[in-house]
Amino acid sequence: MPPAVEPDTLPRGAARRNWRPSWLGFVGGGLVLALLAVVMVQARQFSLLRQAFDSGSDFGVLTVFQAEAEYLRLAEQWKDAADPAHPLDAQALRHRYGLWVDHIAPLRSERTQRLLGSDAGYRRTLAGIDAFIAEADRTLGPNPQSEPGLASVQALLPALAALEEPIHQVALSAAHGMASQLEQRAEAVRSQNHLGLGLTVFLSVLTLAFAAIAVRQLRQLHERRLVLEDLAASLRQARRQAEAASEAKSAFLANMSHEIRTPFHGLMGMLSLLRETGLNARQIDFLRTATESADHLLALLNDILDMSQLESGRMTLAPVPLDLRALLRDVEALMRPQAMAKSLALHIDASPDVPERVVADPTRVKQVLFNLVSNGIKFSEHGAVVLDVRPRTDAGGAPTLEFIVTDSGIGMDEDTLARLFNRFMQADSSRSRRHGGSGLGLEISRNLARLMGGDVAATSTPGKGSVFTFWLPLMRAADPAPPPDRAAAPARSGRPLQVLVAEDHPVNRQYLAALLDNLGHEAHFTTNGREALDAARSRAFDLVLMDVHMPEMDGVEATRAIRALPDAARSTLPIVALTADAFEETRERCLVAGMNDYLTKPVSPQKLASLLRRLFGAAGTPAAPPDGQASSAGTPAAGHGGSTPLVDEGAIAMSLQAMAGERLAAMIDEFLDQGPDTVRRLRASVRDAQPLELRVTAHALKGAALNLGLAGLAATASALHEGAARLPAHEIARLVQRFEDQIALTRGAIKALRLRERGAPAPRR
């Protein structure tokens, strides 16, 4: 616990000063007002100066004086021209007259009118000048009617002489007006200067007062800083203690989570076993509730473990090259049943320029995507949840990979978004109680994203939905190395292995028999876990391939029973899980039960050969596959009415490495011929409300279809398996009908591939 801080350790009245004005505030306010007044005075003085220059009074007076001077020159020359004793120089007189007229024009300007506009003599003088110019222009103007003569000049001389006194009076009026304006401006400037001086004195006094108060405040701040330093030292000590307690708490949570998970997996296993037994409708409902509660509790434990690992810094990443689109298909496979249960559309789309292979931690990337997509489904009641994958470039120019999850749910306001990524915080407490959740998911997702070098952000509109963006650095993975030249493949060495295969579906048994035979090993088959236990007890095998979901006794329970055999050699033989489930939980359950490894269906020759090499070295080395056979997935045949193809040609190509086309075609025909009977059993399960029987049948169909490359039927069987306990009856019936429709379509697609015309694989060497 951090030490308590006594109130009297702070300076006296410190809290009150935070809320009550001080002398420093009053003086500061006065200082600001004084500065504003000084600015206003300076602005007024600037305005007066600008007005003095803009008014043009000086220019108006100069214009009047120049007009009077030109008049006097014209009058002098006019008298000489009117004297008979002097010869008449008409050109010189016209030139002087033109100069005077040009100087008269500015007398009518706006500036001159502002200076003399109120003077009646000014207006009369302009009228007299206009009358004289009108007469003189007949002989001296720009367009004279006749040449000037002595008589015309003498006739106009009295009118010109009469203008002398009015023009002089106008000049005197202009001079007096200018003097009056200058006196007014000088008086205004003096007043402004006095006001500015007074404000400057007042400002100086306020500045001194402000400085004195500031010094006092600085002294008080110094005392307060000393107190805060003591408090900070106490807080640092308390922080160290809190961090130590947090580390101890994280370690405790991690240890307890691991301790709880061990018996909890036993509980999950027992529930799984109980699910395969014959139960009535009420017991099935109880079992479903118990399983859902156990799944929810496991999710909470995982969240607590992840958070404790993130807090303690013990969580590490395991980036590997991965197929990004395969990862997205895994996300879709897990999330689609949840979306279908709420009648929501789920779309996952990757831009064409997203690379096929990237380097990342697949477990953590899927964990973040599961969380974001699951949240979108949880809080959406209608519409769709969309996951878009796009390459982007960040602000620094580095390539990034963006996963954008858009839902049509309830949305969030700004306050909710602000606390969205806080621990134990949920967007809407009432809806959170209805939908469940620990409040850790989004914080874990953001921490995982940041651990991977990226981040998670959210935008939302109430009532319209939310958008979550998860990005991480884009690191492209190199394409896988091409397979070695098959002509140079080394010969298989070692003895044939005795392999016990526990598989309940006859087509899967035929398929695995062909694979093992092509690899040079001998297969022995049982149809359920109990038979597998009896076989392992009665004779020695090198390996057990154990299907996880089987009637009577499933693969997990059979594995535990084999591990409990008294014969040490038989209780320790390698056991490998076979299942169509690609989920981490299934894999972990198998390994906890004692299985050595894990194979997902479809089981390709390459997967099986690689497994045998890992377990048995040279003894598990297969014969070389036939030359010219493709080892990678080909182009799937187009589906019908959906994005999943009917036939996965890549899986079929891999099967053809282990068996002839004639044999593979016969296996596929046998599977398809069983279709009507299978559909009847599925419909009977729907009619009799037996979801467990429906799940078992659908799971077996899914595994067999995957092994044979029948992708469309496998996808429909997977939807039936996942939705058996969640979807309404009419939705399950629709899926059964889709399965029946796809049987005929698949038969046509297989026929188009002409499998029977393809030769047998190359003989073992």
Mark whether 654 and 698 lie in a shared domain: yes
> What CA–CA distance (Å, rounded) separates 509 from 516?
11
Q: Is 510 helix (H, G, I), strand (E, B) or coil?
A: helix
Q: Does the pLDDT value for residue 66 go beyond 70?
A: yes
* Of 599, 623, 647, the domain-final residue: 623
So what's the pLDDT on residue 400?
A: 94
Q: Is residue 180 part of a domain?
A: no
Phi, psi (deg, nearest 5) at residue 465: 120, 180
Q: How many CB atoms lie within 10 A of CB 723?
A: 22
Q: Does the pLDDT value for residue 469 go beyond 90?
A: yes
Q: Which two tokens stand for residue 93?
A: 């007189």
Q: Which two tokens stand for residue 282?
A: 């009420």
> What CA–CA distance (Å, rounded) separates 518 from 512?
10
Top-confidence range, 241-250, 281-290, 423-432, 455-464: 455-464
Mark whether 608 and 740 lie in a shared domain: no
Q: Label each residue of 705-739 as H, E or C.
A: HHHHCCHHHHHHHHHHHHHCCCCCHHHHHHHHHHH
**pLDDT band at 172; cut points 50, 70, 90:** confident
Q: Is residue 24 part of a domain?
A: no
Mark whether 682 and 746 lie in a shared domain: yes
CATH of the domain at 763: 1.20.120.160
> Taking the C-alpha atoms of 639, 644, 647 and 650 in order, what is their torsion angle to the nearest 10 degrees?
130
Mark whether 552 and 452 lie in a shared domain: no
The string of pLDDT tens digits covering residues 254-266 is: 566 656 765 665 5
How many structural domains is the chain composed of?
4
Average of per-residue pLDDT across 309-335? 80
If residue 240 lies in a helix (H) or strand (E), which one and from where to where?
helix 164-275
Residues with Cβ within 8 Å of 391's Cβ and at least 6 positions away in sequence, in order, are: 351, 353, 354, 355, 399, 400, 401, 402, 474
**pLDDT band at 633; cut points 50, 70, 90:** very low
So what's the pLDDT on residue 415?
A: 81
**pLDDT band at 57; cut points 50, 70, 90:** low
Q: Is residue 450 part of a domain?
A: yes
Contact 373, 335 (CB under 8 A): yes
Measured in whole angstroms, how far is the alpha carbon of residue 509 from the centre of its chain? 48
Q: Does the pLDDT value for residue 622 go beyond 60?
A: no
Average of per-residue pLDDT across 216-245? 87
Mark whether 586 and 619 lie in a shared domain: yes
Q: Is residue 22 part of a domain?
A: no
Sign of CA dihedral 449, 455, 461, 467: negative
496 cis-preceded (ω within 30 degrees of 0): no
Q: Does the pLDDT value for residue 640 go beyond 50?
A: no
Give, as one character, the DSSP assignment of residue 553. Answer: S
**pLDDT band at 432; cut points 50, 70, 90:** very low
> What CA–CA distance (Å, rounded) separates 171 from 80?
25
Cα Rg of the chain, angstroms: 50
So what's the pLDDT on residue 641?
A: 40
The string of pLDDT tens digits covering residues 349-373 is: 888 888 989 999 888 898 899 889 9
CATH of the domain at 567: 3.40.50.2300
Angle between helices 729-753 and 711-723 (to 10 degrees): 160
* Of 100, 134, 162, the domain-final residue: 162
Top-confidence range, 222-236, 408-422, 494-508, 694-708: 222-236
User: Partners of 357 in the beta sheet?
Assistant: 323
So what's the pLDDT on residue 422?
A: 67
Q: Does the pLDDT value for residue 3 go beyond 60?
A: no
**pLDDT band at 117; cut points 50, 70, 90:** low
Mark whether 327 and 467 lie in a shared domain: yes
The DSSP secondary structure of 334-370, one letter per residue, reads HHHHHHHHTT-EEEEEE-TTS-SEEEE-HHHHHHHHH
Q: Does the pLDDT value for residue 758 go beyond 80?
A: no
Mark whether 454 and 358 lie in a shared domain: yes
The string of pLDDT tens digits covering residues 699-722 is: 888 888 888 889 889 888 888 887
Structural domain including 360 reads: 316-473
In the chain, % of residues over pLDDT 70: 77
Contact 691, 668 (CB under 8 A): no
**Pairing of β 543-547 and β 522-526:** unpaired
Q: Does the pLDDT value for residue 418 go beyond 70?
A: yes
So what's the pLDDT on residue 21?
A: 57
The string of pLDDT tens digits covering residues 548-564 is: 888 888 888 999 899 88
Q: Is residue 609 part of a domain?
A: yes
Q: Which two tokens stand for residue 753?
A: 């591939």
**pLDDT band at 7; cut points 50, 70, 90:** very low
**Pairing of β 384-393 and β 575-579:** unpaired
CATH of the domain at 395: 3.30.565.10
Q: Is residue 445 part of a domain?
A: yes
Q: Is 647 helix (H, G, I), strand (E, B) or coil?
A: strand
Longest dimension (CA), the chain: 165
The string of pLDDT tens digits covering residues 650-701 is: 778 877 877 788 888 888 888 898 888 888 888 888 777 677 788 888 888 8
Mark whether 606 and 674 lie in a shared domain: no
So what's the pLDDT on residue 387?
A: 93
Q: Is residue 290 part of a domain?
A: no
Q: Is residue 311 part of a domain?
A: no
In the chain, % of residues over pLDDT 90: 10
Average of per-residue pLDDT across 621-644? 43
* Of 595, 623, 651, the domain-final residue: 623
Mark whether 388 and 499 lie in a shared domain: no
Mark whether 611 and 706 lie in a shared domain: no
So what's the pLDDT on residue 423?
A: 55
Mark whether 450 and 337 lie in a shared domain: yes
Q: Does the pLDDT value for residue 203 go beyond 90?
A: no
The string of pLDDT tens digits covering residues 404-413 is: 999 998 888 8
Mark whether 429 and 501 lie in a shared domain: no
Q: What is the mean pLDDT of the chain?
A: 77
The string of pLDDT tens digits covering residues 266-296 is: 576 566 557 656 677 788 778 777 776 776 6
